[in-house]
Amino acid sequence: MSTSPSDKPSDETTAPTLSPMGIALRRMGKLSSILEVAKAMTAQRNLDTLLPLILKEATRVVEADRCSLFIVDRARNELWSRVAQGANQEIRLPMGQGIAGTVAVSGEVVNIKDAYDDARFNREFDVKNEYRTKSILCVPMRDTRGDITGVIQALNAHDGTFDAEDEELLLALGGQAAQAIENAMLHEEISRLFEGFVQASVMAIESRDPTTAGHSGRVASLTVGLAQATELSTSGPWRGTSFTHEQIQEIRYASLLHDFGKIGVREPVLVKAEKLYPSEFDQIRQRFELARKDRQLASMRRRLEMVKLRGDREMDSIDLEEDARLVKELKELDDALEFIVACNKPTVLAQGGFEKLAGLGEVAFADSRDRPMTVLSAHEIQVLSIPRGSLSATERREIESHVTHTFKFLSQIPWTRVLKRVPEIAYAHHEKLDGKGYPRALAAERIPPQSKMMAISDIYDALTASDRPYKKAVPHEKALDILHMESKSGQLDADLLRIFVEADVPRRSLKSS
């Protein structure tokens, strides 16, 4: 940022004359300001907000043109500044070099009347920014243990020089700032740690069920997008809704972790793509191979018996008859197996399909010991008769139990006060407004608004996801039609769905996915 000629400090600045009472009042005002800013700094946990606040107050308290704040990076043996007045990018300085680096090592206050008379001063900043630095006051920032954590540097006192009072005030402010920065950095570290834990948890979920990889992240993006769109609503029951930054983060965490309870579901059930497990279907194929061999052996026996009865001269005729019969019997078996393959897919059976399956339970063959067997067991017929999807009623209940597992897991985490509803929000994402959801069949008024938003997002992504082996992805418009059908039947919040559609939440929220 350049400084206009009128903003540059003058070499001949005359300090206003104040009475002793005026000096005392000014000092009291500055001390009061430090106390007030100390309160504000203590409450602030965001470094991007805290650092400009410290610089603003430091500039005002010592009546400087501008200030810079540098934090010690011990890992790199450097000072770094995320924000400096007059600079538009991060600044890094080696420890021990320059005025700020010297103060960071020595812990001594440096008060210079003219920077250009000090060999330690680097004029590069002035040249780049068309600035003229004269007076400098640089003080160390010490934490509660007395360790130097950074420095505050004030440039160009309004009255030409910084005095002992300025040193005292800036040191006092620096001490408060050091503690506030330490708290803010610790808060950032804890936030990064927890973010890493959440991402690791999502990875653990998706490693159990790779077919749903990306689902948790997409649901989080959609739900946060819907919450933000709801805040902009100007009509309907959601008008005037607002969420704090922490509440948005709460929604995001609940959405990212909403399926974590799948950890407690058996993996074969979790990834079941067809009605029968692969090992079960392999047994059916083996039975059909045995049935084919049984039909072929039976045909050979009949040929021998017919030759005995009709003589060798009838061999060709007997072969023609048996070949035709065997082809028909083998085709019946092949058609039956093909029908079973179709029934095994998680699709709705056509009219009469259940009756045909029941009939296959009577198709028999003899094993190697001539014991009678059927190509399908009663259990297999029951499983293949599942009317929708690939799960039996027992398996579906096991899958649905993931919501309870999620709640129990999330309830073990000592959430902060502003994130304490994460377990509750995740717990209700499969509840329906008509009270027919699971696991608790909650009435509409007992379902958290955030859960109602997540329900829409979860269903939309489940419909449109292209990585599910047991179903094809549904186009965007078709997915919206299905959501509208569910809202009309009283399952989803119609007003939230309207916002979801009108704000084009899927395309806006998933455009970078």
Predicted local distance difference test score (pLDDT) of residue 50: 79
pLDDT digit string, tens, across residues 8-47: 444 444 445 656 665 556 656 666 666 666 666 666 667 7
Rg of the chain over Cα atoms, rounded to whole angstroms, equals 38
Contact 365, 373 (CB under 8 A): yes
b/e 84-104 (16+ beta carbons within 10 angstroms → b): bbbeeeebebebeebbbbbbb
The answer to whether residue 382 is domain-embedded is: yes
State the angle between helix axes of 164-208 and 20-43 in degrees (0 to 180), rounded to the nearest 10: 10
Q: Considering only CA atoms, which of 226, 146, 235 is closest in space to residue 182?
A: 146
Residue 114 pLDDT grade (very low, low, confident, very high; cuts 50, 70, 90): very high
Predicted local distance difference test score (pLDDT) of residue 6: 39
The answer to whether residue 204 is domain-embedded is: no
Euclidean distance between CA atoms 386 and 390, whole angstroms: 7
Instruction: List the Cα angle 72/194/90 in 5-degree steps.
Output: 30
pLDDT digit string, tens, across residues 233-274: 998 999 999 999 999 999 999 999 999 999 889 988 988 889
Predicted local distance difference test score (pLDDT) of residue 346: 84
One domain, residues 368 and 461: no
pLDDT digit string, tens, across residues 367-413: 888 899 999 999 999 999 988 888 999 999 999 999 999 999 999 99
347, 370, 390 — which closes off a domain?
Answer: 390
One domain, residues 163 and 218: no
Predicted local distance difference test score (pLDDT) of residue 177: 81
Q: Residue 232's domain is classified under what CATH number?
A: 1.10.3210.10
Predicted local distance difference test score (pLDDT) of residue 48: 77
Predicted local distance difference test score (pLDDT) of residue 8: 42
One domain, residues 45 and 136: yes
Count of structural domains within the chain = 3
Predicted local distance difference test score (pLDDT) of residue 2: 36
Q: Considering only CA atoms, which of 86, 50, 41 is closest in space to residue 68?
A: 86
Q: Considering only CA atoms, which of 89, 91, 37, 82 is closest in space to residue 59?
A: 37
One domain, residues 133 and 248: no
Tokens describing residue 411: 């309830």
b/e 300-332 (16+ beta carbons within 10 angstroms → b): eeebeebeeeeeeeeeeebeeebeeebeebeee
Euclidean distance between CA atoms 137 and 169, whole angstroms: 11
One domain, residues 174 and 217: no
Q: Between these two residues, 253 and 61, which has the higher pLDDT value? A: 253
**How far, CA to CA in Å, does 9 sit from each of 6, 160, 450, 487?**
8, 8, 55, 67
One domain, residues 85 and 62: yes
One domain, residues 386 and 401: no
Tokens describing residue 125: 């900043």
One domain, residues 17 and 137: yes
Instruction: Specify burial of residue 453 (Cβ count, 10 A radius: 0-12, 13-18, 19+).
Output: buried
Whether the pLDDT of residue 184 is over 90: the answer is: no
Residue 277 neighbours by CB under 8 Å, 6+ apart: 268
pLDDT digit string, tens, across residues 80-99: 886 655 555 678 889 999 99
Average pLDDT over residues 318-333: 95
* Cis, bond preceding 387 (omega within 30 deg of 0): no
Predicted local distance difference test score (pLDDT) of residue 156: 95
Contact 61, 92 (CB under 8 A): no
Euclidean distance between CA atoms 444 and 497, whole angstroms: 15
The answer to whether residue 199 is domain-embedded is: no
DSSP 80-135: EES-BTT-SS-EEEETTSHHHHHHHHH---EEES-GGG-TT--THHHHHHT-----
Give the distance between the most distant pair of CA atoms in the chain.
142
Reduce the DSSP state of residue 70 to 3 states and report it.
strand
One domain, residues 166 and 68: yes
Dihedral sign computed on CA atoms, order 377, 381, 382, 386:
positive
The answer to whether residue 141 is domain-embedded is: yes
The answer to whether residue 198 is domain-embedded is: no
Residue 281 pLDDT grade (very low, low, confident, very high; cuts 50, 70, 90): very high
Instruction: Specify burial of residue 357 (Cβ count, 10 A radius: 0-12, 13-18, 19+).
Output: buried
* Enclosing domain of residue 41: 5-189
pLDDT digit string, tens, across residues 197-241: 999 999 988 888 877 789 999 999 999 999 999 999 998 999 999
Calculate the dihedral angle through the C-alpha atoms of 131, 136, 142, 146, rounding to the nearest 10 degrees.
150
The answer to whether residue 132 is domain-embedded is: yes
The answer to whether residue 292 is domain-embedded is: yes
Name the average pLDDT for the chain: 87
One domain, residues 85 and 179: yes
One domain, residues 260 and 401: yes
pLDDT digit string, tens, across residues 483-510: 999 999 999 999 999 999 999 999 999 8
pLDDT digit string, tens, across residues 341-361: 999 998 766 666 678 888 998
**How many Cβ atoms sit within 10 Å of the Cβ of residue 109?**
19
Predicted local distance difference test score (pLDDT) of residue 52: 83
Euclidean distance between CA atoms 267 and 448, whole angstroms: 30
